[in-house]
Amino acid sequence: MDFTKTVLGIEFGSTRIKAVLLDEKHIPIASGSFEWENQLVDGIWTYALDTVHTGIQTCYADLKQDIQKKFGCAPDTFGAIGISGMMHGYLPFDKVGKQLAEFRTWRNTITGQAADELTELFGFAIPQRWSIAHLYQAILNGESHVKDIARLTTLAGYIHTLLTGEHVMGIGEASGMFPIDSTTLDYNQGMVEKFDTLAASKGMPWKLRDILPKVLVAGTHAGSLTEAGAAFLDPAGDLKAGIPFAPCEGDAGTGMTATNSVRERTGNVSAGTSDFAMLVADHELGVHREINMVTTPAGKPVAMVHCANCTSDINAWVNLFSEFAEMIGAEVNKGDLFTKLFRKALEGDPDCGGLLSYNYFSGEGVTALDEGRPVFARVPGCSFTLANFMRTHLLSALATLKIGLDILRTEENIPVDKLYGHGGFFKTPGVGQRILSAAVSAPVSVMETAGEGGPYGMALLSAYMLWKEDGEALEDYLDNKVFADAASSTLMADEIEVAGFDAFLSRYKNAFEVERTAVKTLK
């Protein structure tokens, strides 16, 4: 096996770290994974860096085992490697590499004051989860560590530096740290200067560009695996240094890549623990708190609707049903149970028969909540069936996303001609597609490779760096060399399903005080 003709993508998702190896035809040939979960520690959603280290080493060992089983040998090199992870958040280090504060993930909604002040300063919507909001909130809080920051990064950026020694980052991932200028393909210089002035007035000794990663676009060489990086990733000692790395990217950018949605007027929805929609824009947008502007891995502007809550509440209910099945002696495979319950949802009334659910495990920026409480509610006389119950939770998982997408369609005139879906919400064939199609009133496609998700997209970005022709744009590479013959399925919800989702969302909005009250009273 010639491993120089393979590319490896590794992504740190919210519940799983996964590695996917592709051959030179961009076909997945091996994979590895590690299950993990974030922790709420002293009011902060976080992952310990020790767990990050254990996770990637275990994931890589699992990949090696799969390769050994399939090809009878352990890899000592690859053509290229790329690292991806959950976007945003806060990981500060001092000049000797000491971590200065706990990793504050995208899930935290603790930066409201900073986000509001920066949005006003920049004239650009800054969400609470962005790194710059976390940084400025730490300044506002008077946190003593801020003056000592020498390097600020994200989870993907941290691992990239750990393996290569390079403090650099793909432009899509960087666009979740600080606003990007898509003409210069770099941080927005005017906003950088405004922030530097603000930080200096608060006594900060550094300039923003001194601590942020250098921005790189897709296709750029972003460093090579060091001897220390190789020993860290593969403690068994088989892996050799020198493997080239693609710029690390965020899960939004890898999702766009994995679904061939990097060209203007294309879009995709990633739906798992969180869900987000990415629509590549062809014109300037106004400022909306619900909409964030990021970029593709090549730097094109993207309108992003990001929702912190998607499938966690569904998972909790399926676990309850699994526990009940076990109690009555009818044990069932968890995957089969998900499939049966998702399919049952299609038998429900289009508007869920009067049932209502808010799936908020955590705060939600789109609806301006700093905390969340999962709530299920119904009125007497509603159609309380299993089908309606499950349909309610599937519609609830996409309700907040629909609120943001409706703004893009009605106020910004961004057409939604077709969306690509990927992530756990779409694992049961036909169900997640149909629900999303009802939400957006547009066809939804799912590719056969969609189950590979972010690590597949990161591996494709590594392949693009390694195998692109001179001057070949990312969107052309994906169209012509990766997805030209890709198999996919497309579904369009019928009119009654679209009307049903609209009716559900109207009820959802009208009763939203139920969720607000739950946050206030359920402590």
Q: What is the CATH number of the domain that holds 41?
A: 3.30.420.40
> Which stretch of 55-64, 159-168, 349-358, 359-368 has the lowest confidence by average pLDDT?
359-368
> Which region, left, alpha or beta, applies to residue 59 given φ > 0 means left and ψ of -120 to 50 means alpha?
alpha
Which pLDDT does position 396 carry in this prediction? 98
pLDDT value at position 522?
95
Predicted pLDDT of residue 94 = 97
Determine the 3-state secondary structure of 40 from DSSP.
strand
82 lies in which domain range?
A: 3-259
**Mean per-residue pLDDT for 359-369?**
91
pLDDT of 156 reads 98
Structural domain includes residue 85? yes
Radius of gyration of the chain measured on its C-alpha atoms: 22
Give the pLDDT confidence of 114-128 residue by residue, as tens digits: 999 999 999 999 999
The angle formed by the CA atoms of residues 156, 159 and 160, to the nearest 5 degrees, is: 80
Q: How far apart are CA 17 and CA 71, in angstroms?
A: 23
Question: What one-character DSSP code corresponds to residue 95?
Answer: T
97 inside domain: yes
Query: How many folded domains does the chain comprise?
Result: 1
Phi, psi of 435 (to 5 degrees): -65, -45
Q: Is residue 512 part of a domain?
A: no
Q: Is 160 a domain residue?
A: yes
Q: Does the pLDDT of residue 432 top 90, yes or no?
A: yes
Three-state DSSP at 24 gives coil
Q: Is 40 contained in some domain?
A: yes
DSSP string, 62-88: HHHHHHHHHHSS--S--SEEEEEE---
Q: What average pLDDT does the structure give for the chain?
A: 94
| Measured distance CA(153)–CA(174) in Å, rounded | 9
What pTM does this model have? 0.83
Tell me the angle at which helices 334-345 and 431-440 cross, rounded to the nearest 10 degrees.
40
Query: What is the total residue count of the chain?
Result: 523
Residue 81 resides in a domain: yes
In a domain, 339, yes or no: no
50 in any annotated domain: yes
Please give the Cα distance from 414 to 277 (Å, whole number).
13
Residue 134 has pLDDT above 90, yes or no: yes
The contacts of residue 182 (CB under 8 Å, 6+ apart) are: 295, 299, 300, 301
Give the pLDDT mean for 28-46.
94
pLDDT of residue 273: 85
- Dihedral angle of Cα 175, 266, 472, 477, to the nearest 10 degrees: 110
**Does residue 486 carry a pLDDT above 90?**
no
Q: Which residues of 478-513 are buried (b: 16+ CB within 10 A; e: fewer)?
A: beebbbeeeeeeebbbeeebbebbbebbebbeeeee
What pLDDT is recorded for position 482? Answer: 94
CA distances in angstroms from 31 to 72, 114, 238, 454, listed in the order given: 15, 40, 17, 13
Q: Which residue reads 């064939």 in tokens? A: 429
Band of the pLDDT at 281, cuts 50, 70, 90? confident
Three-class SS state of 168: strand
